[in-house]
Amino acid sequence: MAEGREAATETAHTFARFTAFSGSQMKKSKLIPVATLIVSMLSVIPTPARAGESYFYQGTTGFSASFFLLGGEYSLYVNAKRPLKGPYAPESKSCLFGGNFERVSPSHDAMSLGSGITISTIVPHKIGPESLKLAPGLYHLYIPTLTTCDWKFVINSTSQNTAGVAPVQMFKITKGSAEPSPIASVKDRVEFSAQYRTDHDAQLTVTGTVQIINAGKVVQTLPLQLDKIRASGATLLYVDVQWEQSDAKYLGKNSVKFVVQMGPATFTSTGEFTLVE
């Protein structure tokens, strides 16, 4: 396997630092073989950072996304308004908006963002900024396909929270786009990533490594890289990996482990994936 990266380009919003388009998140990355030892300086130099969770999505139609929250105190903001599509576009005169924000695991809790709301004036539909206390878990944002308004969804952790690292996710990168996937082939380029936050937003030195584990044994250790998403301010730990045919010996179920040092404290986070031919 090979590892590396070039600087990401961000526009509307990002989740794993992928070049974003309306209603989704993407990134561009250049892979560099590990053997060359040419990796980003961020991967080997400790970086003092004020770190927090943040997810930012926007669009003009239906959309859905899932993401992990570490739990604690958060600020939620939602805005929906008529889109600017020209004087003859029906959406510019009146548009529809609705949506749900819900925890789907380990238990189910739902919050309505609006249901069939018609916006026909310059006054937008807004929620917040609203303070929320949320339990840790997997959350889902759903905007129905009938939505025609220009909408924005933002959720940020606050400085009231303790430090932590979200569960590790794998993203499969294809043709400049990336999608979360639990399965990759020996020809795929992937990224393992997780958001993190420091204790009460403290400015700390953060470093880390990622372990690729097969059959209970660590088969590869790589330096984690750090990034801050410009659109949302979220802080991210990640590594890009290009699977190769020689990795066929790891076919089947594998796991990945982030070992992260934040100041004097050590945190770990894990994920699972399946490698196929």
| End residue of a domain, out of 157, 178, 213 | 157
pLDDT the model gives residue 50 = 57
Lowest mean pLDDT, pick from 22-31, 60-69, 253-262 = 22-31
pLDDT the model gives residue 89 = 81
Q: pTM score, two decimals?
A: 0.78
Instruction: Please indicate, yes or no, whether residues 196 and 263 belong to a single structural domain of this protein.
Output: yes
> How far is 92 from 136, CA to CA, in rounded Å?
39
pLDDT the model gives residue 62 = 94
Which CATH number covers residue 130? 2.60.120.380
Lowest mean pLDDT, pick from 8-22, 120-134, 205-219, 255-269 = 8-22
| Selection from 129, 201, 204 nearest residue 159 by Cα | 201
In the block, tokens 């600020």 appear at 75
Q: Are 227 and 17 in contact (CB under 8 A)?
A: yes
Name the burial class of residue 79, with classes exposed (0-12), middle (13-18) and buried (19+) by CB atoms within 10 angstroms of its CB: middle
Instruction: Please indicate, yes or no, whether residues 21 and 110 belong to a single structural domain of this protein.
Output: no
Is the pLDDT reported for residue 133 higher than 60?
Answer: yes
Res. 233 pLDDT band, cuts 50 70 90: confident
Residue 239: domain span: 2-51+166-276
Instruction: Please indicate, yes or no, whether residues 67 and 123 belong to a single structural domain of this protein.
Output: yes
| End residue of a domain, out of 107, 139, 157 | 157
Res. 229 pLDDT band, cuts 50 70 90: confident
Instruction: Please indicate, yes or no, whether residues 20 and 94 belong to a single structural domain of this protein.
Output: no
The number of folded domains in the chain is: 2
pLDDT the model gives residue 3 = 61
Q: What is the mean pLDDT of the chain?
A: 83
C-alpha distances out from residue 178 to 53, 97, 106, 238, Å:
20, 27, 26, 14
Q: Are 76 and 158 in contact (CB under 8 A)?
A: no
pLDDT tens sequence across 142-171: 999 999 999 999 999 999 999 999 999 999
> How far is 55 from 45, CA to CA, in rounded Å?
26
Instruction: Please indicate, yes or no, whether residues 114 and 79 belong to a single structural domain of this protein.
Output: yes
Instruction: Please indicate, yes or no, whether residues 100 and 227 belong to a single structural domain of this protein.
Output: no
